[in-house]
Amino acid sequence: MNREETYTLLVADDEPEILAVLREYFASQGYRVLAASNGDEALALAQGAVRPDLLLLDVMMPGMDGLALCRRLRNHLTCPILLLTARVEDADALAGFEAGADDYIPKPFSLPVLKARVEAHLSREQRTAQVAVRSAVRFAGNVTVDFAAHAVLVDDTTVPFTKREYAILSLLARHPGRVFDRERIHENVGGWEAGSSAQGVTELIRRIRQKLVEAGADNDPIETVWGVGYRWRA
């Protein structure tokens, strides 16, 4: 698996030999490995300065077992949690999933297969993160709306908008192809100063367009639907 970054695995198992094998194997594969011999140690490591990207937890540990640890950590961590266990009954697997685990791996296991399962979960997490990033950005030609940063760029240059102008632009950009009349736009971007009105939407959209043109936008991303309202070009 080619990785541009080093993933951190938290491995917890009360059997010293298994813990050593897992630590050495994944370290040899380029992972950063945090190792714990019981649930309390694993809890402390998971809440430490270095947050794990994935957890491998033995179910049958003294004190806080893997299921209890999984339930407790699931309130604070969203990363994949894989349970390792010698118990392979359906009821045990269901208990693991109900505790918040993402996978349930019976012992004994093949290290290459375990590695493949780990990588599959990490790849899924990466794809999910990429989708989240893409959903936070809207493109229209050389115009980019970054909703997370509350910024609008033409090519690589940030275009300054007032609060009201950005509110209108981002409303339309979040719903490409959907037509909003002036009243609906005014209603959706409420909180304006006293004296504002739906009639002011037309002037604000004119200003938005002018700023985009002056910044070098290839095309006007806001389309006027005559007699109806405005929409972001789909």
The DSSP code sequence of 53-98 is SEEEEESS-SSS-HHHHHHHHHTT--S-EEEEES---HHHHHHHHH
Pairwise CA distance, residues 222 & 233, whole Å: 6
Same domain, 25 and 129: yes
Q: Is residue 215 part of a domain?
A: yes
Q: Is residue 2 part of a domain?
A: no
Longest dimension (CA), the chain: 75
> Which structure tokens are listed for 143?
């115009």
pLDDT at 128: 61
Give the pTM.
Answer: 0.56
Q: Is residue 175 part of a domain?
A: yes
pLDDT at 1: 44
Closest C-alpha among 46, 39, 40 to residue 8 = 46
Strands 81-85 and 54-58: parallel
Long-range contacts of 83-87 (CB under 8 A, 24+ apart): 83/57, 83/58, 83/59, 84/13, 84/56, 84/57, 84/58, 84/59, 84/109, 85/58, 85/59, 85/60, 86/60, 87/59, 87/60
pLDDT at 143 over 90: yes
Q: Is residue 84 part of a domain?
A: yes
Which amino acid makes up residue 168?
Answer: I
Q: Is residue 196 part of a domain?
A: yes
Q: Is residue 185 part of a domain?
A: yes
Assign residue 61 the CATH number of its domain: 3.40.50.2300
Same domain, 14 and 70: yes
Strands 143-146 and 137-140: antiparallel
Res. 2 pLDDT band, cuts 50 70 90: very low
Pairwise CA distance, residues 125 & 130, whole Å: 9
Of 135, 155, 185, which marks where a domain is finished? Answer: 135
Query: Using one digit for the tens of pLDDT, what is the confidence trace for 175-222?
Result: 888 898 888 888 777 644 444 566 788 889 999 999 999 999 999 999
Query: Using one digit for the tens of pLDDT, what is the confidence trace for 47-86?
Result: 887 889 999 999 999 889 999 999 888 877 778 899 998 8
Same domain, 109 and 141: no
List the domain range (segments joined by +) for residue 171: 137-232
Res. 152 pLDDT band, cuts 50 70 90: very high
Strands 151-154 and 143-146: antiparallel
Cβ count near 99 (within 10 Å): 21
Of 107, 135, 163, which marks where a domain is finished? Answer: 135
Assign residue 210 the CATH number of its domain: 1.10.10.10
Same domain, 21 and 128: yes
Report the domain count for the chain: 2
Of 135, 164, 191, which marks where a domain is finished? Answer: 135
Helices (H), the chain: 16-28, 39-46, 66-74, 90-98, 111-135, 163-174, 182-188, 200-215
Same domain, 109 and 57: yes
Same domain, 28 and 113: yes
Indicate the range of 1-15, 84-98, 189-203 predicted with least confidence. Answer: 189-203
Same domain, 127 and 142: no
